[in-house]
Every structure is written in C-alpha cells, then in structure tokens.
C-alpha cells in the first residue's frame, strides 16, 4: 500500500471528524509559532520566491454548516465545517510566505548539504538515485531500478549503462519541479529553519490563501476544477502537478497552489478555535494541521476539501506522498 493512499484515508477521516467528541479544553492555535527541533545552520534562501502578506485584519474560519447533506451523501460519520467555527476577524502583522510549495529540487539541496535522510518514496520513484552510483552499479540492479522505479517505457533488459542513464537523468529533472512530499512535519520544519525561516502558522496560511476578505478558494468564491490539480483525470502520474503549473490557482497575495495539488503542513497543533463550542477527541498536542487539499484524494475531490478554511490533521510523524509544505518568515 502506498503511503499516499494510507495518509489520504487517515486525512479524510480526520477532516470529517471521524473521532468522537471530547471535552478537551479549548486552546488557541492562532498565535502558535514553529516548534524548535534543534539548531540547524541556515541555508541560502535568496533564490526562493516569496510573496508579502500585508498587515491587517482578515476573515478567519467560517460559520458554514452542512446544508447540502454532504455528510449523508458521502458517508461522513461526523458533521462538516464545525472545526472552522466561529468565523472571526483577527489581525496579523505583515509577513512573507513562499510563492510556491517547496519543490523536490529545493528539498534535495537541503538533503545534500545537511546529510539528512532521503524521503522513503524517493527510493520508490528513482529520485533518490545518484547518477554517480548508477555509473558503477551492477547492471542487473540498474536495469531493475530503471524498469520498476523510474518506470521507463523501454526494454531496459536490452539496454546498456550508457543507454539507460540519460533517460533516468531526464526523468529526475522532470521531477525537480514537483512539490516535496513524503516528509514528516519535523523534517518540513527543519527545512524551513535551515533557510532561516519557519512553517507558517495556521492563521498565516489561511490569510495568504483567502486574502483579507475570506475568499472560499484562492482564486475567488466559485469552485472550478480546471483551475487546480484535484487528482481526478490528472495528466500527471502521481495525481499532483509541478508547482505553479496552474496559473489561475493563485491567491489574492500571489501565492500558488493553496487550493489543491498537495496538502501542506503548518506550524500548529490541531485544536479548537477561540470561542468554539465544538469538541473533538483529536484536538490537543498530538496532531498537526495540514491545509489546502491534495491531488491524491481521488474520488473524494469534492470542493469541500480545497477551500481555504478547510482544516485537516495528521500525526506529525506521518510521511504522506500527497503532503508537502511551504515556508514563511517575519518582516
């Protein structure tokens, strides 16, 4: 079973509050910053594009309820929207957030320079293979990797090393601009620290996605499957696209892919909003929030999952092929 499929089933369950209600005390996630995971020497972030989110109030959360009967229609065991309550206006200082989700190429630079472990699924799709290894590897193994991991549409058993390496390199370069996924919350946090930055808070992420007036989706208030990668009928093999591949999937502040493509880790624990009367046993310091909707959800690609206010959570140790991230920094 792929990690992507495993995480998606967990994530969908969490999003619709599969757990029972509990009496956990309410705690505010609005001001919770990144959790320090140990000192990491910062890398060079000069080549990473970021957008500025201006200071001021914005519409956070929602007061929506399931007026369309989606819970019954899709078999969700718990009411939808309630963990977004209550809608409120909150102020935030100005900050920067990545224009795009962190790419495989950017994360690979971090791996190379810090000697961190490579994500598990890089070994499944060939992205982990160094071409210096490929040039000395036993041919039987190289041909197996080319066929089973790179999935080259060629008769690899009849190809020489010199014939195999160029298409493998080409496949890796094509993967460079896809979002970095298959990493834990801690690894995402460490990457942002390495850049001298941090994961965005839940409130920062939502403001960057929805704009000051609380748009339903990054591009506006009307759902449009042509504006984002939902995973349904995707032209991309994994169900998500290279970062920035959908030019209309752009928020008020100019950030891309905040509705669809891959889910994104944020800094906060999954907890009730201030003033909320809703309780969930999954609240507390055990699950981190993920936002934005992912292309890996398949037939669950309904508009609800791609809204700027939609909350989902996952255990911070989970490595999901359809969960990525972006970084933020103070001004």
Assess contact for 96 and 331: CB atoms under 8 A.
yes
Mean pLDDT of 315-325: 95
Query: Residues 196, 280: one domain?
Result: yes
Over the stretch 188-219, which tens digit does the pLDDT of each residue have? 999 999 999 999 999 999 999 999 999 999 99
Domain range spanning residue 136?
A: 120-175
What tokens appear for 102 in the block? Answer: 């962190």
320 occurs within a structural domain: no
Average pLDDT, the chain: 86
Core vs surface per residue 231-268: b (16+ CB within 10 A) or e:
beebeeebbbbbbbbbeebbbbbebbbbbbbbbbbbbb
Q: Is the pLDDT of residue 296 over 70?
A: no
pLDDT at 51: 98
Query: Residues 206, 137: one domain?
Result: no
67 occurs within a structural domain: yes
Query: Residues 145, 245: one domain?
Result: no
What tokens appear for 109 in the block? Answer: 């630079």
- Phi, psi (rounded to 5 degrees) for 190: -65, -40
Query: Residues 208, 287: one domain?
Result: yes
Q: Is the pLDDT of residue 234 over 70?
A: no
Over the stretch 265-291, which tens digit does the pLDDT of each residue have? 999 999 999 999 999 999 999 999 999
228 occurs within a structural domain: yes
3-class secondary structure, 108: helix
Q: Which of 200, 187, 33 is nearest to 114 (CA)?
A: 187
pLDDT band at 72, cuts 50/70/90?
confident
Q: How far apart are the C-alpha atoms of 178 and 195, rounded to whole Å?
A: 19
pLDDT at 85: 98
218 occurs within a structural domain: yes
Domain total in the chain: 2
Over the stretch 19-42, which tens digit does the pLDDT of each residue have? 333 333 333 344 444 344 444 456
pLDDT at 92: 98
Assess contact for 180 and 195: CB atoms under 8 A.
no
Query: Residues 166, 187: one domain?
Result: no
pLDDT at 55: 98
pLDDT at 301: 66
The residue among 175, 197, 216 that closes a domain is 175
pLDDT at 157: 94
pLDDT at 78: 75
Assess contact for 290 and 264: CB atoms under 8 A.
yes
* Cα-Cα-Cα-Cα dihedral sign, residues 140, 321, 173, 225: positive
pTM here is 0.86
Query: Residues 139, 288: one domain?
Result: no
Query: Residues 185, 151: one domain?
Result: no
49 occurs within a structural domain: yes
Q: How far apart are the C-alpha atoms of 10 and 8, rounded to whole Å?
A: 5
318 occurs within a structural domain: no
């Amino acid at each position: 079973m792929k990690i992507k499929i495993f995480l998606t089933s967990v994530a969908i369950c969490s999003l619709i509050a599969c757990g029972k209600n509990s009496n956990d005390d309410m705690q505010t996630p609005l001001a919770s910053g990144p959790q320090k995971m140990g000192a990491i020497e910062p890398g060079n972030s000069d080549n990473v594009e970021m957008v500025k989110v201006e200071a001021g109030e914005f519409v956070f959360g929602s007061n929506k309820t399931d007026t369309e009967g989606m819970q019954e229609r899709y078999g969700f065991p718990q009411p939808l929207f309630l963990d977004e309550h209550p809608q409120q206006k909150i102020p935030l200082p100005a900050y920067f957030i990545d224009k795009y989700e962190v790419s495989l190429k950017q994360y690979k630079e971090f791996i190379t320079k810090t000697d961190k472990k490579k994500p598990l699924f890089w070994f499944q799709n060939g992205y982990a293979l160094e071409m210096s290894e490929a040039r000395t590897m036993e041919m039987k193994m190289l041909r197996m990797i080319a066929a089973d991991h790179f999935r080259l549409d060629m008769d690899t058993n009849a190809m020489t090393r010199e014939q195999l390496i160029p298409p493998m390199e080409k496949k890796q370069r094509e993967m460079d601009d896809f979002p970095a996924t298959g990493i834990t919350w801690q690894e995402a946090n460490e990457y942002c620290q390495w850049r001298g930055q941090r994961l965005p808070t839940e409130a920062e992420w939502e403001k960057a996605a929805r704009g000051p007036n609380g748009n339903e989706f990054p591009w506006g208030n009307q759902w449009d499957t042509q504006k984002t990668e939902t995973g349904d009928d995707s032209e991309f093999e994994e169900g998500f696209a290279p970062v920035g591949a959908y030019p209309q999937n752009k928020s008020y502040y100019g950030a891309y892919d905040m509705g669809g493509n891959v889910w994104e880790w944020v800094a906060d624990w999954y907890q009730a909003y201030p003033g909320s009367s809703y309780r969930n046993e999954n609240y507390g310091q055990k699950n981190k929030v993920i936002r934005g909707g992912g292309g890996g959800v398949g037939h669950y690609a309904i508009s609800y999952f791609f809204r700027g206010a939609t909350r989902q959570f996952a255990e911070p140790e989970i490595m999901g092929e359809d969960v990525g991230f972006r970084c933020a920094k103070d001004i």
